[in-house]
């Protein structure tokens, strides 16, 4: 399927690994020029830069200025067609709500929520002037499946989902579409890394990280985690004109884990 994205300009946040890297690769495969924002480089992102279709911008997206600086690089091309809000992180907290400090709450809200708000704020005037644009945000099933082990992450993702829905109503008349994608567990460092959910729970309980992953995977009818490229395919479709009348939606991709929607 030709998605008609050739030569468009996109910003992707959190682009150096995981879902963000997969989205960047998928956009490049469709002929999009990507301005990729990340705090650190990765060899995979560097390879895409070397191929000429990606500009990597090293930026701290949790800061007030970081998102605007990233968007400014994209606008240097004369327009901005696509914004992918992907940056985010979760810290597993197993000692209870009372132990979550103000600093931890603010850090989570800054990265998981305010980074998207600031990126959109910087990008929107150019999109409105052009009369078109697409914004796709990586949310999470935790936005409506609250989990005390990631209480601050869940709250920030709930705010993000609400923001996307509200924004879609405001900017739809300007030709701009806003959608979200909410993955369940994905085969990235958030779950599988040395400091990911599985390893953290295993260290706390004396269990085995692989067994924890297997147990979690079995909760989905498909019996497995989602892969980053599967999330990326959905995101890129929503960014394309093939999804021209889809806005204000939140698409769950979780192998059937959530059964109440």
State the average pLDDT over residues 231-245.
98
The predicted-structure confidence for 140-163, as pLDDT tens digits, reads as follows: 999 999 899 999 999 999 999 999
What's the pLDDT at 125? 98
The predicted-structure confidence for 19-57, as pLDDT tens digits, reads as follows: 999 999 999 999 999 999 999 999 999 999 999 989 999
Please say if the pLDDT value at position 204 is more than 90.
no
What's the pLDDT at 261? 57
Sheet holding 9-13, edge to edge: 54-58, 33-38, 9-13, 82-85, 133-138, 176-183, 250-253
- As a whole number, the mean pLDDT across the chain is 96
> Of residues 153, 163, 191, 237, which has the active-site annotation?
153
Cα separation of 59 and 184, whole Å? 27
52: phi then psi, degrees, rounded to nearest 5 = 95, 0
Pairing of strands 176-183, 33-38: unpaired
> Are 192 and 237 contacting, i.e. CB atoms less than 8 angstroms apart?
no
Which has the closest alpha carbon to 142: 202, 206, 90? Answer: 90
Which has the closest alpha carbon to 101: 110, 90, 93, 113? Answer: 93
What's the pLDDT at 259? 86
Domain ranges in the chain are 9-184+227-253, 186-225
The predicted-structure confidence for 112-140, as pLDDT tens digits, reads as follows: 999 999 999 999 999 999 999 999 999 99
What's the pLDDT at 260? 76
Cα separation of 103 and 112, whole Å? 14
The predicted-structure confidence for 216-232, as pLDDT tens digits, reads as follows: 999 999 999 999 999 99
Which has the closest alpha carbon to 80: 138, 122, 37? Answer: 122
CATH code reported for the domain at 9-184+227-253: 3.40.50.720
Please say if the pLDDT value at position 206 is more than 90.
no
Active site residue 153: yes
> Are 142 and 100 contacting, i.e. CB atoms less than 8 angstroms apart?
no
Please say if the pLDDT value at position 80 is more than 60.
yes
Cα separation of 232 and 27, whole Å? 9
State the average pLDDT over residues 10-24.
98
Quote the strand ranges of the chain, DSSP E: 9-13, 33-38, 54-58, 82-85, 133-138, 176-183, 250-253
Please say if the pLDDT value at position 207 is more than 90.
no
């Amino acid at each position: 399927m030709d998605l008609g994205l050739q030569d468009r300009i996109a910003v992707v946040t959190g682009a150096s690994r995981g879902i963000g890297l997969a989205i960047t690769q998928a956009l490049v495969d469709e002929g999009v020029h990507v301005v990729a924002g990340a705090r650190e480089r990765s060899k995979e992102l560097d390879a895409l830069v070397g191929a000429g279709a990606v500009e990597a911008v090293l930026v701290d997206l949790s800061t007030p200025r970081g998102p605007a600086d990233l968007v400014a690089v994209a606008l240097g091309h004369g327009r901005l067609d696509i914004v992918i809000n992907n940056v985010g992180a979760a810290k597993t907290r197993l000692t209870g709500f009372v132990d979550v400090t103000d600093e931890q709450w603010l850090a989570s809200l800054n990265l998981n929520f305010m980074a998207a708000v600031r990126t959109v704020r910087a990008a929107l005037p150019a999109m409105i002037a052009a009369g078109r644009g697409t914004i796709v945000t990586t949310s999470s099933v935790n936005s409506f499946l609250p989990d005390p082990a990631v209480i601050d992450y869940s709250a920030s993702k709930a705010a993000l989902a609400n923001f996307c829905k509200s924004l879609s109503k405001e900017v739809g008349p300007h030709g701009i579409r806003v959608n979200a994608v909410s993955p369940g567990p994905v085969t990235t460092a958030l779950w599988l890394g040395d400091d990911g959910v599985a390893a953290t729970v295993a260290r706390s309980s004396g269990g085995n990280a692989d067994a924890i992953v297997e147990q979690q995977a079995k909760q989905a009818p498909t019996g497995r985690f989602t892969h980053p490229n599967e999330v990326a395919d959905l995101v890129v479709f929503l960014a394309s004109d093939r999804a021209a009348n889809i806005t204000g939606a939140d698409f769950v991709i979780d192998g059937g884990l959530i059964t109440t929607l």
